């Protein structure tokens, strides 16, 4: 049996250790910290490689790789999206990620990212909303009450000051789950009987549904002036949530236009329809919300730089808190040129 050298050992954050970190730090702190990491990286957006994710699509879902680098570290995430998985007791989305040192090419972190993706998605939604939502917003409609919804609600409370959530899902058991999970977290939870009911009085509308189809979760008449829409469910070709007419009334903000035009709500529009990249708003180059009556839309599909920010955060905090194990992942012969000799000398 071989004994791996220290150079061959890669820190690995398992699901259990990810949960230990979140429970130890507190979920609101983690979400707030992640939002700060994402905001800081968005402000240095030009330094990053920007590659639309590489997707392998099928009739039942998608498997994707999401890579980027800032020249010092490289990161990627493997993630799937299979809406029908829940029928078989499986997660709709699962993920893992890797962070590597550019100078050597060696991996420095391998981590679960199913939980981390939910956390970084919610943190991204909330930090973008901080720039785009109406002033003094307190009420959010949460349409789609699946696995992502609680993270969204807590992030908007912690980062944006939301105090009331109007919940709706076509499956009442999903809404019941959310109300149970969010009890005691300082949010007023209102169960609604329809999407129309949910958006009534809301300053922010979050849509987060999973069906892999062009759906109409929001129709034009449901969206009044001055609201901010956080559309996160339409995230692959042929999957949307908003009626096309809403887009023409909105100022649209996106992560990476080349990716969003294929995957986001704006796949319904012409390729030259104007959009604003959110990094430019955060960097102070472009304007966010301009007036109280403006409808702002964050057409969020998720981008690799957000995962990179999350990987950096976990690398720093999981290691310092010792919430990790080691994996013997890298072959490490005594002579770097003698990989075959290492194999020959191995005794099982």
Residue 221: phi and psi, rounded to 5, are: -70, -10
Contact status, residue 119 vs residue 15, Cβ threshold 8 Å: no
pLDDT at residue number 239 = 79
pLDDT at residue number 2 = 41
Contact status, residue 96 vs residue 112, Cβ threshold 8 Å: yes
Lowest average pLDDT, out of 3-7, 190-194, 254-258, goes to: 3-7
HSE-CB at 263 with a 13 A cutoff on CA atoms is: 25
* Arithmetic mean of pLDDT, 60-74: 95
Indicate the pTM of the whole model.
0.94
Local structure of 269: helix, strand or coil: coil
Evaluate if residue 4 carries a pLDDT over 60: no
Evaluate if residue 58 carries a pLDDT over 80: yes
Q: Cα 344 vs. chain centroid, distance in angstroms? A: 45
Evaluate if residue 158 carries a pLDDT over 50: yes
Lowest average pLDDT, out of 152-161, 202-211, 224-233, 290-299, goes to: 202-211
- For the chain, domains (ranges, CATH) are 6-115+305-345 (3.30.1780.10), 136-302 (3.40.50.720)
* Arithmetic mean of pLDDT, 203-215: 83
Sign of the C-alpha dihedral, residues 125, 130, 135, 138? positive
pLDDT in tens, 83-131: 889 899 998 889 999 999 999 999 999 999 999 999 999 999 999 999 9
Please state, for a pLDDT cut of 70, what percent of the chain lies above it: 96
pLDDT at residue number 348 = 76
Q: Cα 40 vs. chain centroid, distance in angstroms? A: 16
Evaluate if residue 344 carries a pLDDT over 70: yes
What's the full length of the chain, in residues? Answer: 348
pLDDT in tens, 251-289: 999 999 999 999 899 999 999 999 999 999 999 999 999
pLDDT at residue number 212 = 60
Known catalytic residues are: 235
Q: Cα 112 vs. chain centroid, distance in angstroms? A: 14
> Computed over its alpha carbons, how large is the radius of gyration of the chain?
21
Residue 220's CB: how many other CB atoms inside 10 A?
A: 14
pLDDT at residue number 59 = 87
pLDDT at residue number 3 = 45
Contact status, residue 228 vs residue 203, Cβ threshold 8 Å: yes
Residue 201's CB: how many other CB atoms inside 10 A?
A: 13
Q: Which residues face 54 on adjacent strands?
A: 65
pLDDT in tens, 6-53: 677 999 999 999 999 999 999 999 999 999 999 999 999 999 999 999
């Amino acid at each position: 049996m071989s004994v791996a050298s220290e150079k061959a050992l890669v820190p690995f954050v398992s699901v259990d250790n990810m949960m230990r970190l979140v429970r130890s730090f507190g979920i609101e702190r983690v979400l707030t910290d992640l939002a700060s990491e994402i905001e800081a990286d968005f402000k240095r957006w030009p330094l990053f490689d920007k590659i639309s994710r590489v997707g392998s699509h099928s009739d039942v879902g998608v498997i994707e790789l999401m890579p980027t680098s800032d020249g010092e570290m490289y990161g990627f995430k493997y993630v799937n999206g299979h809406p029908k998985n829940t029928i078989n007791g499986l997660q709709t989305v699962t993920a893992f990620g890797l962070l590597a040192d550019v100078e050597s090419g060696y991996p420095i972190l391998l981590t679960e990212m199913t939980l981390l993706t939910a956390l970084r998605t919610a943190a991204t939604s909330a930090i973008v909303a901080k720039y785009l939502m109406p002033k003094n917003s307190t009420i959010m409609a949460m349409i789609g009450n699946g696995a992502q919804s609680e993270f969204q609600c807590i992030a908007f409370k912690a980062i944006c000051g939301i105090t009331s959530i109007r919940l709706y899902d076509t499956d009442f058991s999903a809404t019941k789950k959310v109300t149970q999970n969010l009890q005691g977290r300082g949010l007023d939870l209102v169960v609604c009987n329809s999407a129309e009911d949910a958006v009534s009085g809301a300053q922010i509308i979050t849509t987060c549904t999973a069906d892999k189809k062009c759906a109409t979760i929001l129709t034009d008449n449901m969206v009044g002036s001055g609201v901010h829409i956080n559309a996160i469910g339409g995230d692959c070709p042929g999957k949307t949530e908003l009626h096309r007419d809403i887009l023409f009334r909105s100022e649209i903000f996106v992560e990476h236009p080349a990716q969003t035009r294929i995957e986001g709500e704006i796949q319904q529009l012409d390729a030259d329809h104007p959009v604003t990249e959110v990094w430019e708003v955060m960097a102070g180059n472009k304007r966010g919300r301009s007036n109280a009556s403006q409808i702002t839309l964050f057409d969020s599909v998720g981008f690799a730089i957000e995962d990179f920010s999350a990987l950096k955060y976990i690398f720093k905090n999981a290691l310092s808190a010792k919430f990790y194990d080691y994996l013997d992942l890298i072959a490490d012969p005594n002579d770097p040129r003698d990989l075959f000799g290492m194999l020959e000398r191995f005794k099982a």
